[in-house]
Amino acid sequence: MNKAEKVFAQGFYFKKSENAPDFVVGNISVKVEEAIAFLKENDKKGWINMSVKQSKKGTYYMELDTFEPKPQKEEKDEMVF
């Protein structure tokens, strides 16, 4: 199986809040021009999905979620007698 190439979310930056209260996970910063270009380029019916991930070095990054479910086969109604 060939792994899909990672698409990093341009213009979006996540930083975990180590000293914040427990209910605060982190902060997202958005560089507007880069983010708008990224969103327009990756738009799927008005939406994009991103995942927040942690690198081997421990830094956080946002990646485009490129998962697309396989179309379901239509089952024909069969009459059983």
Q: What's the distance, CA 4 to chain centroid?
A: 14
d(CA 17, CA 9): 20
pLDDT tens for 27-40 read 999 999 999 999 99
Q: What's the distance, CA 25 to chain centroid?
A: 17
In eight-state DSSP terms, residue 19 is: T
What does the pLDDT read at residue 26? 93
pLDDT tens for 39-52 read 999 999 999 999 99
Q: Domain spans of the chain?
A: 12-64
Q: Which residue has the tokens 């998962």?
A: 67
Q: Which residue has the tokens 């507007």?
A: 32
Number of Cβ atoms within 10 Å of the Cβ of 74: 6
